[in-house]
Amino acid sequence: MYGGGYIFEEPNNRQVREEMLHDEPEKLAAFEERIARGEKIEPGDWMPAEYRRQLIRLIEQHAHSEIIGALPEGTWITRAPGFKRKLALIAKVQDEIGHGQLLYNAAETLGKTREAMINDLLSGKSKYSNVFNYPAKTWADVTVIGFLIDAAAIVNQVANSKGSYGPYCRALERICYEESFHLKQGHDAFIELATGTPAQKEMLQDALNRWWKPIMHFFGPPDKASLHSEKLMQWKVKMASNDDMRNQFLDMYVPKIWELGLTLPDPLLRKNPETGRWEYSDPDWDEFFRVINGGGPCNEERLQVRKWAEEHGRWVRKALMKPAEKHSLPVA
Amino acid sequence: MLNKAITDLLTKMADDELILGHRNSEWTGLGPVMEEDIAFSSMAQDKIGHSWALFRILEELPEGRPADLNAFCRPEAAFKCCHLVEYPNSGYDFSLMRHFLFDQAEAVRYESLQESSFEPLQQLSKKVKGELKYHTLHANAWILQLSKAGEESYDRMQTALNEIMALAAGIFEPARDYEQALIDEKVYPGEKELYNRWLDRIYPVLVKASLNLPDLNAIAPAYGGRTGQHTPYLGPLLKEMGEVFNLDTAANW
Amino acid sequence: MSLDPRVNRLKLGDPNAVIKVEEGENWNVYEVFHQEKRGAHHEHVGCVHAPDPQLALIFAKEQFARRKKCVNLWVVKSADILAFDVEDEDMFANNLEKTYRDASGFKVMEKINKFKQSSKGTTDVK
Ligand SMILES: [Fe+2]
Ligand SMILES: [Fe+2]
Ligand SMILES: [Fe+2]
């Protein structure tokens, strides 16, 4: 589901490294011309080391977000009410694992193995979307996630699917198709509560209040505060600015929340009729950075569960390992 | 009489599929490798889907209740699932072996229903044929591969088989009051017959896997589920499964 | 206590434990080709990690055909795929100019028309 607009930086590596841009100037020029013409880059192509590094990081974090993202909603897999919701939720969480699978494959084409990526997730070296460090306390949380977090993810993923790296675009094409089901089933369950009994409505309003801040954080800090690189835009690695994506999301979904008689916990939230842009209160970026760095309510549990899964699945994987076989990375 | 007998048959099948589908779905997102996670989750969904279809057949019968109510807020004692499906997932070895033994039984049962005199079951059995083929293909592949993949993995498979065999034999607990009527009316061939067909089906796979089938005369099949006597695991499972639904059973969710 | 009852049944380990996956533990990579209907080509749709072709096919079925229409799948080990280097793209560059291979390279009607034009009046039709 969930790219999230924010690509997490390793602290000492915040800038595109200049020296990378100067190796092999002719090849670099041809590479940049190809992207400018709207052509895709494929795994075997020459590419600047920095392009490769940034893409691995982006796709890898996206992949981690999918499999960690399966956990908050997974919280309600055994309790979904009624056959249809039960099946839809299992299928939705299954899709997220499927997205992880597609994205790890896309990242692998750049030279980093799935095992190495999993290890970086487990050790905390590599991050995932911040929004999944929050708990899904009630059934209504599942409907908020399915509707709004998936909606936000779609904004991000549709943008990224127009990027320059072929395997990532192809994975995203398939992913976006499945996300439309996620959004629809989420919206449906959300509407069911919003138009249901007073208790259901209250449950939903409470969940919405709790999720609003993480949703505002989803696309990352405001453009003026993030060290976003023009190079990444030129190389079509980053396709839209955080603020633009956030604005697009608010434009599409705030009316859909308000039309159901629900409120959002921000008195300043409004669309400025003159600028056409949404205005909102400061969503507490300190908390955002605190949660990224491990201080969120669920960071520890999320990784602990992933560790459990890797540890308890190990005997299965090891039993069928073939160390003598020639291993390779995906070709496309 | 026949109506009651058919209701009994449909209910036990629906409950088995619901409870095992529920248990297996717990692996979604936690499986040993992503590809298998996806496959296992699909099969859990299929089971819950079969259960839903069976509850909808029940709904259409005289005195039938809506499928969701029947599944999500029925007292424990009214459940007719076998003990095999109630056990929590202790590990992937246990879950795979249970999957193998149950799905082979399921395949044999639905195959027999293709000739059922009860039209709705006959139709359902044709519809699920392809799904069950995939389930047993998947199960056989895993049992064979893990049994041939070194000592630790072989031991795990054999231990799981030893633990589960009596529970699996409990799938075929005859419906005391209804069995003969269902056989006479050609609704299905009866549990005893299905049990024998199931053994014929699993035995060659176990032989190929070099697994030893426990002595069938020495095991006591885990009966009781079909008459509402359950393991201590079912009650908490039902409570958890119905937690949200039972906040307000009249509401739409 | 987790909010997820499933997680409470797992007996989670020490959060600080170092868990590492070994290289090769996620097995080998197989490319997957999907046939949407009888008579259609098999098309490349992605790949699966699997220990052998049999499980690769079993995995591919659910990862690549659980929604989309599908009648068959192929899997082949990625290592067994032979492809041109992308730099060799230029080998294909002149394809479009070789019109002697193409129907469009032959102007039959032009010739017929020319013939009809030139023969008008010289041959009498009885
Ligand atoms: Fe996703
Ligand atoms: Fe999603
Ligand atoms: Fe099955």
Question: Of A44-53, B155-164, B225-234, where does mean pLDDT reach its minimum?
Answer: A44-53
The tally of CA atoms less than 13 A away on the side-chain side of residue B69 is: 10
Q: What is the pLDDT of residues B24-75, one digit of tens each?
A: 999 999 999 999 999 999 999 999 999 999 999 999 999 899 999 999 999 9
Chain C residue numbers touching A178 (CB-CB < 8 A): 67
- Report the domain count for chain A: 1
Residue A331 domain-assigned (yes or no): no
Q: By residue range, what is the domain housing residue A108?
A: 13-319
Token couple for A296: 């969120």
Distance separating alpha carbons of residues C93 and C91, to the nearest angstrom: 6
A327/C44 touch (CB, cutoff 8 Å), yes or no: no
Residue in chain A lying closest to B39 (CA)? A94
B199 within 8 A of B18, measured Cβ to Cβ: no
C62/B34 touch (CB, cutoff 8 Å), yes or no: no
- Report the domain count for chain B: 1
- The pLDDT, as a whole number, for residue C87 is 81
Q: How would you label B26-60 residue by residue, b for 16+ Cβ within 10 Å and e otherwise?
A: bbbbbbbbbbbbbbbbbbbbbbbbbbbbbbbbbee
Phi and psi angles of residue C73, each rounded to the nearest 5 degrees, phi first: -135, 150
Residue B253 domain-assigned (yes or no): no
A107 within 8 A of A176, measured Cβ to Cβ: no
Residue B120 domain-assigned (yes or no): yes
Distance separating alpha carbons of residues B199 and B206, to the nearest angstrom: 10
Is residue A6 over pLDDT 90?
Answer: no
Could you give the 3-state DSSP secondary structure of residue C84?
coil
Token couple for B196: 């024998």
Q: What is the pLDDT of residues A220-257, one digit of tens each?
A: 999 875 555 788 999 999 999 999 999 999 999 999 99
Q: Could you tell me the distance, in angstroms and rounded to a whole number, from the CA of residue A177 to the centre of ligand 2?
A: 10
A53: domain CATH number is 1.20.1260.10
Q: By residue range, what is the domain housing residue B109?
A: 2-247
The tally of CA atoms less than 13 A away on the side-chain side of residue B252 is: 9
Whether chain A has a CB inside 8 Å of the CB on B87: the answer is no
Q: In what order do the strands lie in the sheet with C28-35?
A: C42-50, C28-35, C72-77
Distance separating alpha carbons of residues B27 and B47, to the nearest angstrom: 14
Residue in chain C lying closest to B134 (CA)? C58
B161: domain CATH number is 1.20.1260.10
- The pLDDT, as a whole number, for residue A20 is 55
* Interaxial angle between packed helices A150-160 and A166-194, expressed in degrees from 0 to 180 and rounded to the nearest 10: 160
Q: By residue range, what is the domain housing residue C40?
A: 28-120
Residue C10 domain-assigned (yes or no): no
Q: What is the pLDDT of residues A56-75, one digit of tens each?
A: 999 999 999 999 999 999 99
Q: Could you tell me the distance, in angstroms and rounded to a whole number, from the CA of residue B82 to the centre of ligand 2?
A: 35
Residue in chain A lying closest to B92 (CA)? A313
A23 within 8 A of A48, measured Cβ to Cβ: yes
- Report the domain count for chain C: 1
Distance separating alpha carbons of residues A182 and A92, to the nearest angstrom: 6
C40: domain CATH number is 3.10.20.520
Is residue C81 over pLDDT 50?
Answer: yes
Q: What is the DSSP letter of B32?
A: S
What kind and span of H or E run contains C50? strand C42-50
Distance separating alpha carbons of residues B241 and B208, to the nearest angstrom: 38
User: Pick from B178, B171, B194, B236: which is nearest to B16 by CA?
Assistant: B171
**Mean pLDDT, rounded, of chain A:** 92
Residue B252 domain-assigned (yes or no): no
Rg (CA), chain C: 30
Residue A92 domain-assigned (yes or no): yes
Could you give the 3-state DSSP secondary structure of residue A278?
strand
- The pLDDT, as a whole number, for residue A11 is 41
